Amino acid sequence: LRGGEVSKMAGADGDDSLYPIAVLIDELRNEDVQLRLNSIKKLSTIALALGVERTRTELLPFLTDTIYDEDEVLLALAEQLGNFTMLVGGPEYVHCLLPPLESLATVEETVVRDKAVESLRKISQEHSPVDLEVHFEPLVKRLASGDWFTSRTSACGLFSVCYPRVSSTVKAEIRQHFRTLCSDDTPMVRRAAASKLGEFAKVLELEYVKSDIISLFTALASDEQDSVRLLAVEACVSIATLLPQEDLETLVMPTLRQAAEDKSWRVRYMVADKFSELQKAVGPEITKNDLVPAFQNLLKDCEAEVRAAAANKVKEFCENLPEDNREQIIMTHILPCVKELVSDTNQHVKSALASVIMGLSTILGKDNTIEHLLPLFLAQLKDECPEVRLNIISNLDCVNEVIGIRQLSQSLLPAIVELAEDAKWRVRLAIIEYMPLLAGQLGVEFFDEKLNTLCMAWLIDHVYAIREAATCNLMKLVEKFGAEWAQNTIVPKVLGMANDPNYLHRMTTLFCINALSKACGQEITTKQMLPVVLKMSNDQVANVRFNVAKSLQKIGPILDSNALQTEVKPVLEKLASDTDMDVKYFAQEAISGKSFPITEYPPESRQHFYKIFIDVQDQLVNV
């Protein structure tokens, strides 16, 4: 297949629309990878131009032959071929796509191989049952018995797609091949087979699940390499779902018990991680007898990784326990372990627990929560690690539903105050985000008394992100507590900052006004906020002045037209003739009434870039 040929043909037909295609084909051979890649990505266009016949007889053989290329090009090719069925003439001819995909499924690079397998799986569905047996299945067999591990690994992903639609003889062969790969001597292949075991089990007839899959499962679950064993745990979920309840005890449970006590923490970790799925798959009886003690052991594991994974599942596990004696199981078996985890030596374990422990209160009800859980919540609220405290505070709503937050408020407050002043600004940020929720739950009096000061202190934080969040927080509080509350408590303080010697604080006043004006309404905005904004138009720092322009634009719609004409307009006009080009720009923007997002800056303004730079620097210094 030569580009030149195509272009000649195009010339002869007088159809110069084929000319670009000719060049595109030449580009497939270009030295520059990027150009080859561009061309490969247009493969469907090339095929469309060539027509189905020439695509089959010329383009595909050409591609099959030139498959030695950069992995990136191969990846694009593997992806394209998955969508090529119509371009080679429909399902009748889809098997023409198999040879190039077969080579791609054997390359070293995992990403390429996986993509080729994905495409093969896709087009397998477009094969007729006959073609599946004549063309597809032989390919799977060739891959399964390939010399190098890559082809055998790829084969593992193809068994399940062809199995349901072939004759019983071929089915037997497929099962045989799968068996062989499960005991392959390279661990890479065994891992691939183990990871597809569950998927393959799903398409098998139940009798073969019992006769074939179980023995493979047992063998893989006791493989010499832990990387193989842990994959068997995953398969365990699907296999257990497929089997009737009465077979689980003999066929699955011995292996699962062994996995839960595996000498490698990676396997135990996997069991902990999949615990909820396993629990659902084996049903309530086995859960009661087997999984409860296993779960206890995982919660007490000697590796923190395993304990953390198990701690993460505490709520889900308890939720899914059979209802008839759920409470009793939790109280006698799970809660004692949970109590120990509260004072675990590892912060990740405590933090994992803190993210779910509040969920137990809905399961255990009010009395148990107050008696047993509350002390744990309180202990975690005082934990030395901020993430633990945060996780508790972020889930307060669960407890609120059961016992009301007031039960907690006495211990909550010190925890909040401490987090509010944490040295890490991201911790401060996280706690600010919970303020509106807390304020709503604790009520306005409690808030005024204990939390208001904190909220105002954040406005002068040295990190911009905190000041910004604090502004947004005020807005939400006003929405909750109303304009009158705002007028009495926060507006005076915000406006007072307009005289602060630090220009960053003066700007915070403006940002607060932007955020609050709508919630506060016309009267407060016109009478109290506007005079302050207007006065700030004389500020000596240009950043403050152009923020005045932006603020005026922002609060404009809330003001009445009289104030706009008599007070706002003269000030904006004055700013529009400012010496600073950015102030001018924003004043003009405000006058012309264009709304613009904050990120849009006049492109020509270098000076402004410098200002942003300073602001960014200011943030960096304070991180």
Partner 1 sequence: MVVHRDSSGPIHRAMSSAATTAPSVDKVDGFSRKSVRKAKQKRSQSSSQFRSQGKPIELTPLPLLKDVPASEQPELFLKKLQQCCTVFDFMDTLSDLKMKEYKRSTLNELVDYVTVSRGYLTEQAYPEVVKMVSHNIFRTLPPSDSNEFDPEEDEPTLEASWPHLQLVYEFFIRFLESQEFQPSIAKKYIDQKFVLQLLELFDSEDPRERDYLKTVLHRIYGKFLGLRAFIRKQINNIFLRFVYETEHFNGVAELLEILGSIINGFALPLKAEHKQFLVKVLIPLHTVRSLSLFHAQLAYCIVQFLEKDPTLTEPVIRGLLKFWPKTCSQKEVMFLGELEEILDVIEPTQFVKIQEPLFKQISRCVSSPHFQVAERALYYWNNEYIMSLIEENSSVILPIMFASLYRISKEHWNPAIVALVYNVLKAFMEMNSTLFDELTATYKSDRQREKKKEKEREELWKKLEDLELKRGLRSDGIIPT
Interface residues toward partner 1, by CB under 8 A: 17, 19-20, 23-24, 31, 35, 38, 42, 45, 48-49, 70, 108-110, 148-149, 186-188, 191, 224, 226-227, 261, 263-266, 302-305, 345-346, 386-387, 423-427, 623
Nearest to 431 by CA among 448, 417, 450, 447: 417
Q: Report, in Å, the least distance between residue 65 CB and partner 1.
A: 18
Q: Report, in Å, the least distance between residue 305 CB and partner 1.
A: 5
Q: Which is nearer to partner 1, 345 or 592 (CB)?
A: 345
Please tell me whether residue 607 adopts helix, strand or coil conformation. helix
Which ranges in 125-186 belong to alpha helices (H)? 129-131, 137-144, 149-156, 159-162, 168-182
Q: Which is nearer to partner 1, 49 or 373 (CB)?
A: 49
Nearest to 380 by CA among 417, 338, 422: 338
Q: Report, in Å, the least distance between residue 209 CB and partner 1.
A: 28
Q: Which is nearer to partner 1, 92 or 261 (CB)?
A: 261
* Residue 473: count of CB within 10 angstroms of its CB: 22
Q: Report, in Å, the least distance between residue 352 CB and partner 1.
A: 14
Q: Which residue has the tokens 């296993």?
A: 294
- 297 CB-contact burial (10 Å; exposed 0-12 / middle 13-18 / buried 19+): middle
Q: Report, in Å, the least distance between residue 526 CB and partner 1.
A: 43
Q: Which is nearer to partner 1, 305 or 448 (CB)?
A: 305
Q: Which is nearer to partner 1, 185 or 323 (CB)?
A: 185
Q: Which is nearer to partner 1, 171 or 191 (CB)?
A: 191
Please, how many CA atoms are within 13 Å of residue 108, restricted to the half-sphere of its CB? 4
Give the C-alpha separation, 596 to 517, whole Å. 18
* Residue 384: count of CB within 10 angstroms of its CB: 8
Q: Which is nearer to partner 1, 42 or 493 (CB)?
A: 42
Q: Report, in Å, the least distance between residue 428 CB and partner 1.
A: 11
Q: Report, in Å, the least distance between residue 348 CB and partner 1.
A: 10
What one-character-per-residue DSSP string does 513-582 give? HHHHHHHHHHHHIIIIIHHHHHHGGG-SSHHHHHHHHHHHHHHGGGS-HHHIIIIIHHHHHHHHT-SSHH
Q: Report, in Å, the least distance between residue 211 CB and partner 1.
A: 29
3-state helix, strand, coil in the chain (%, to 5): 80, 0, 20
Query: Tokens standing for 519?
Result: 């919630």
CB 222 within 8 A of CB 211: no
Q: Report, in Å, the least distance between residue 459 CB and partner 1.
A: 22
Q: Which is nearer to partner 1, 422 or 479 (CB)?
A: 422
Q: Which is nearer to partner 1, 12 or 263 (CB)?
A: 263
Q: Which is nearer to partner 1, 199 or 305 (CB)?
A: 305
- 356 CB-contact burial (10 Å; exposed 0-12 / middle 13-18 / buried 19+): buried
What one-character-per-residue DSSP string does 20-36 give? HHHHHHHHTT-S-HHHH
Structural element, H or E, at residue 125: none
Q: Report, in Å, the least distance between residue 550 CB and partner 1.
A: 31
Distances (CA, A) of 370 to 299, 356, 361: 23, 17, 9
- 106 CB-contact burial (10 Å; exposed 0-12 / middle 13-18 / buried 19+): buried
Distances (CA, A) of 154 to 100, 191, 193, 436: 14, 11, 9, 53
Q: Report, in Å, the least distance between residue 419 CB and partner 1.
A: 12
Nearest to 276 by CA among 303, 312, 313, 232: 313
Q: Report, in Å, the least distance between residue 532 CB and partner 1.
A: 35
Q: Which is nearer to partner 1, 152 or 326 (CB)?
A: 152
CB 348 within 8 A of CB 306: no
Distances (CA, A) of 416 to 355, 359, 410, 430: 17, 20, 11, 11
Q: Which is nearer to partner 1, 73 or 439 (CB)?
A: 73
Q: Which is nearer to partner 1, 240 or 432 (CB)?
A: 432
Q: Which is nearer to partner 1, 61 or 187 (CB)?
A: 187
Q: Report, in Å, the least distance between residue 310 CB and partner 1.
A: 14
Please tell me whether residue 384 adopts helix, strand or coil conformation. coil
Q: Report, in Å, the least distance between residue 325 CB and partner 1.
A: 29
